[in-house]
Amino acid sequence: MNESPLVSDVTHLTVDNKNITLIGTAHISQESVDTVLRAIKELHPDTVCVELDQQRYQSLINQKGWESLNLKEVIRKKQLPFLLANLALSSYQKRMGLATGVQPGAELAAAAQVAEELGIQVELVDRNIRTTLLRVWRITGLWNKMKVLASLFASLFEKQQINEEELAKLRQADNLAGMLDEMGELLPSVKQILVDERDIYMAYHIRQAPGDKIVAVVGAAHLPGIVARLQGESSSAIDIDRINTIPPKSTSSKLIPWVIPIVVLSLFVGGFFFANPEQMAQAAWAWILANGLFSAAGALLAWGHPATIITAFVAAPLTSLNPTIGAGFVTALVQSFVAPPLVSDMKRVGEDLLSLKGWWHNRLARVLLVFLFSSLGSSIGTFFALGWIKSLF
């Protein structure tokens, strides 16, 4: 097994009698695009592997994909949190890409495109993005989940200034190792799932790619891990199946949503036997007003339609007692009916989300904000109502 780096971004390996060329890229770098195109044309491999799954590949090559989005179906399937996270990550990468003028993931799209033009087989070797995000969510502890959400939310409003020179420094192994070590210390489980597991997954599929000459285009952060795993023992199919599985919800996560309804109903049952009718009426109003007003305030903050705001007030006291559906899904569905996103909103969503104002201006983004803020308002209202009711008995 040999290793002979030509430049800092390109590493050559011989693994299982296959010549594998790994290209570590920055996803918003024109230099990375040029390196990828040059390497594929010069080497003309049997297979080009790219750090994409089918969903991300389609979104890269189909720029009009948002126009065919069935938002109501997304809401009914309760996939709004995933869509919101996807849009937030996309807007963050687009904002970084403005500094270099390169579309995020341009080098991956270019690799697939030039390979197809040359009649070279293309292999998508990354794990499904939904599987990755759900593994992060279900394996990561509550405190680290809060860190991830806070970081994701902060990234929406963070201004990034970066150029090709800085990107070249970021692609250097020493800098990347330091960044990954820091991430591992702050969020070990997140780093394991987002980086380490995907290194294993991609190394396995690069090794399995057909042909004797392989070019693999991956993010520079994954390059050291993939090299180490290609040089080490081959991962077994069992290992890949394990890290490609969405963990079931924990018992506690299944039980916790039922705790509040049980507590509230217990308070009302106890009040029925030991409190007077006036106290019971006050408790009922406390529950309705606290849940309804906070959720409605969230819908208002998202600039929801008046009908959506009214729905939030009516739905929140009921959905807070039903763990199977949240207020946000109800309000988002109503918002999508009374103020549906226009085709122009779908076309502009990528550009609109680059600014804080755009999140409220774009109708698609506004549906997501209605979901987020009315859900948050309902949660706050629930805890406020519990304290209020407890003080009445």
Query: Would the pLDDT of 295 be above 90?
Result: yes
Contact assessment for residue 149 and residue 375, using Cβ atoms and an 8 Å cutoff: no
Domain end: 243, 271, 299, which one? 243
Same-domain check for residues 168 and 57: yes
3 pLDDT above the threshold of 50 = no
pLDDT of residue 199: 93
Q: How far apart are CA 148 and CA 313, in angstroms?
A: 29
Average model confidence (pLDDT) across the chain: 78
Residue 18, SS3 per DSSP: strand
Which tokens sit at 76? 């009914």
Dist. CA 295–CA 13, nearest whole Å: 57
238, pLDDT greater than 70: yes
- 91 within some domain: no
Based on the fold, state whether residues 227 and 267 are members of the same structural domain. Answer: no
Span 250-279, average pLDDT: 69
Domain C-terminal end among 227, 243, 259: 243
Task: Please tell me which residue, 72 or 275, carries the higher pLDDT value.
Answer: 72
Same domain, 181 and 53: yes
pLDDT at 2 over 50: no
Q: Give the neighbor-by-neighbor strand order of the sheet with 10-15.
A: 10-15, 18-25, 213-219, 47-50, 121-124
Q: Which of 243, 275, 304 lies at the terminal end of a domain, its last residue?
A: 243
Report the pLDDT value the prediction gives residue 338, as an integer from 0 to 100: 92
Please give the residue range of the domain that contains residue 14. Answer: 10-68+102-149+156-243
Cα Dmax for the chain? 85
Q: What is the pLDDT of residues 122-179, one digit of tens each?
A: 999 999 988 888 888 788 766 666 666 666 665 555 555 554 555 454 444 444 444 4
Both structure tokens of 302: 């998202």
Give the residue with greater pLDDT, 254 vs 380.
380
Query: Is 174 domain-assigned?
Result: yes
| Ranges 78-82, 91-95, 110-114, 168-172: which has the least confidence | 168-172
pTM: predicted TM-score of the whole model, two decimal places: 0.69
Q: Looking at the 3D structure of the chain, how many domains does it have?
A: 2
- Alpha-carbon gap, residue 306 to 303, rounded angstroms: 9
Q: How far apart are alpha carbons 129 and 21 in whole angstroms?
A: 24
pLDDT at position 61:
74
Strands (E), 159-308: 213-219
Instruction: Verify that 307 and 386 share a domain, yes or no.
Output: yes
